[in-house]
Amino acid sequence: MAKHRGRGFSAIEYPTGMNQGGDPSQAWIKMKPDGRVDVFAGTVDIGQGSKTVHTQIVADTLGVPYDWVTMDNSNTDSSPLCTGTFASRGTFIGGNAVAVAAERVRERLLEIAARELEIDPSDLEVSDGEVRAKGAPDRKLGVGDVAAAATWTHGELITGSGAWMKPYSAPDPDTGECDPHAAISYAACVADVEVDDETGEVRVLKLIQVYDVGHAINPTLVEGQIEGGAMMGLGLGLLEATYPYYPALDHRGDQFGSYLAPSTKDLPEFDNVILEYPSSEGPFGAKAIGEMANNAQPAAICSAIYDAVGVWVTECPATPERVLRALERRSEPRREGKRIVFDEDLSVRSVSATGGEGFLAVDG
């Protein structure tokens, strides 16, 4: 009896947003008289960081510092509609909505600045909290000064709204071709494991994970998604069985403490790689990362178990019981398959072993 090490691979793809649209997001932005910015949107942040990313998108689009932007998604009565936080759509679809709204605010900001500077709006640019004349950086106004002029001189509110939804794509009646997804993300996972062939215990030693996220607007948040998702994938691959005898309800956990989930002692070594192949439709080229972050690990772990001890566990989680059962099946006596070759008169010409268990091949 011994512990064996193995390595397994998996690769996945994941769509961004709902197939064939139907999940719009909206946003509304206003600029206060001091140049600070309020963003109202309905995308709920449940820990994935959408509030931070949307704030970054607005700040970058408007050319103002990040800390000038306040995002309010706390009240569905006062916020524009968002279909929900699901389908890995928060950064892509919600982010597109705030980007559209911010671009319209930027247009209004430059219109007011053009009046103050007596320059055509197309000859102005905004960055670092200032509106400047292209090619003449000394001719400039602070964004706060422009917002104040809009309020106290021109009696106007600098505001903008935006929305985004993947349009419905009707399939071609002859070929079935259509464009159902906003974008596709890709990932690969390599799992290094150690398997005890006496107890059936599997320990994940290292996960190498590669994710194409289009463009990482906030790389730290992306890496957090990857590692948080990896721990969830570890649970799905080795521990978590809500209904272990599904569809029967036997032995299901009836208390939170009886539900097995990975903890910090199960944490493997991580090696994360972020690839950036921008989406043509995503905000700043971003694509999905959320849900897909826990999809690749179970398959890679099961492949690594096979590499370590030569048996396939075909049902997750790969519990010690299932690993031991697979090892027991491998050690059971096997019946050799037979290949029988007949002559034209149906007499047996030859009989040979096929090497397959219980397999009968007939030639003639």
The residues carrying an active-site annotation are 291
Write out the E strands in the chain: 3-15, 25-31, 37-41, 69-72, 124-127, 130-133, 136-142, 159-164, 184-196, 202-212, 269-275, 336-342, 348-357, 360-363
Q: What phi, psi does 97 have (nearest 5°)?
A: -65, -45
∠ CA(10), CA(11), CA(14), 5° rounding?
Answer: 135
Distance (Å, rounded) from C-alpha 60 to C-alpha 295? 32
Number of H helices, E strands in the chain: 6, 14
Write the single-letter amino acid at 340: I
From 47, 16, 7, 9, select the one nearest 212 (Cα to Cα). Answer: 16
Q: Which residues sit opposite 206 in a β-bridge?
A: 192, 269
